[in-house]
C-alpha cells in the first residue's frame, strides 16, 4: 500500500473544486467521479480539513473524464490519482505542485499544455530554472514551505490558488541507519517508511487536522479505482 498527501494550500475563500463552471462547482463533482473524491471535496469545502492522506489502491486507474463510447476516448478517460487530482479535483486552481523522491518537484496540469506552461512560468519565477529545482526531500519540502509562505504574504490580488500533492509519501523518510533516521525525522518529523499514519503526516505538514480518505472502497463499477490491466 502506498500513500499520497493532497494539500489544498491556498487561503482564498472562493476555491471551488472540480472543473464545472458556476456555483455548483463549489459543492459538487461530476457523477462519474469516484466516491472518495466526493468525500474529500465535501470535507475540504466544509472546512473539516485541508490536508488529506489518500491510501489504499492509489496506484489503480481512476476516471479522469466522463465515460465515452469510442474506444480511444474511453481509454483516455482513465488515469492515475495524481492525474485526477490535477485535472478534475483541482482543475480550476492556479497551481498544482507535485513531488515525489523519484521525479522531484513538478507542476501537474493533466493534458492541458497551456495550463502546464502557465504553471511552469509562475513556478520558474518563484523557484528559478526547473532544472535546478530540488529533488532531495529536505530541500524540496523547504522549497514548498517557502513557496507557500511567500504566496501568503503576497497582495491578495496576486495570490495563487495552490494545491500540493506528495506522491509516494511513505518514501519521504526512507529506512536507514540510526544516524540517517535521526536526521530525516528531525527535518520531516515522520517515522520510517511503511509506518506512516494520519497523525504523523498531520504533524509533518503542520496543518492539522488531517483526514484519511481510502481510495479502495468502491471497487471497479466506474465509481472507484479501475484495476490496471496492462
Q: Is 225:215 a contact under the CB 8 Å cutoff? A: yes
First and final CA of the chain: distance in angstroms? Answer: 19
Q: Is 127's pLDDT higher than 80?
A: yes
Cell of 138: 529536505
Give the pLDDT of residue 52: 87
Average pLDDT, the chain: 74
The string of pLDDT tens digits covering residues 17-62 is: 766 544 444 446 888 888 889 888 888 888 878 888 888 888 889 9
What is this structure's pTM? Answer: 0.73
The string of pLDDT tens digits covering residues 145-194 is: 999 999 999 999 999 999 999 998 888 755 544 444 433 333 343 334 34
| Omega before residue 209 within 30° of 0, cis | yes
Nearest to 220 by CA among 25, 39, 1, 35: 35
Q: Is 23:65 a contact under the CB 8 Å cutoff? A: no
Neighbour tally for 97: CB within 10 Å: 23
Return the higher-pLDDT residue of 78 and 1.
78
> Domain limits of the chain?
2-214
Amino acid at each position: 500500500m502506498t500513500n499520497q498527501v493532497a494539500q489544498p494550500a491556498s487561503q482564498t475563500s472562493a476555491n471551488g473544486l472540480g472543473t464545472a463552471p458556476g456555483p455548483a462547482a463549489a459543492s459538487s463533482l461530476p457523477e462519474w467521479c469516484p466516491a472518495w473524491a466526493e468525500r474529500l471535496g465535501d470535507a475540504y469545502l466544509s472546512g473539516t480539513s485541508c490536508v488529506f492522506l489518500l491510501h489504499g489502491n492509489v496506484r489503480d486507474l481512476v476516471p479522469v473524464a466522463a465515460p465515452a463510447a469510442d474506444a480511444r476516448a474511453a481509454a483516455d478517460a482513465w488515469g492515475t490519482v495524481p492525474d485526477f487530482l490535477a485535472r478534475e479535483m483541482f482543475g480550476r486552481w492556479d497551481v498544482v505542485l507535485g513531488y515525489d523522491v523519484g521525479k522531484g518537484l513538478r507542476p501537474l496540469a493533466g493534458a492541458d499544455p497551456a495550463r502546464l506552461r502557465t504553471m511552469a512560468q509562475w513556478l520558474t519565477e518563484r523557484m528559478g530554472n526547473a532544472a535546478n529545482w530540488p529533488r532531495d526531500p529536505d530541500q524540496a519540502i523547504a522549497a514548498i514551505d517557502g513557496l507557500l509562505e511567500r504566496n501568503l504574504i503576497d497582495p491578495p490580488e496576486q495570490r495563487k490558488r495552490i494545491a500540493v500533492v506528495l506522491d509516494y509519501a511513505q518514501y519521504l523518510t526512507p529506512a536507514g541507519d540510526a544516524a540517517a533516521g535521526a536526521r530525516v525525522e528531525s527535518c520531516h518529523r515522520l517515522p520510517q517508511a511503511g509506518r506512516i499514519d494520519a497523525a504523523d503526516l498531520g504533524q509533518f505538514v503542520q496543518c492539522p487536522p488531517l483526514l484519511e480518505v481510502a481510495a479502495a472502497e468502491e471497487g471497479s463499477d466506474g465509481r472507484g479505482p479501475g484495476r490496471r490491466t496492462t
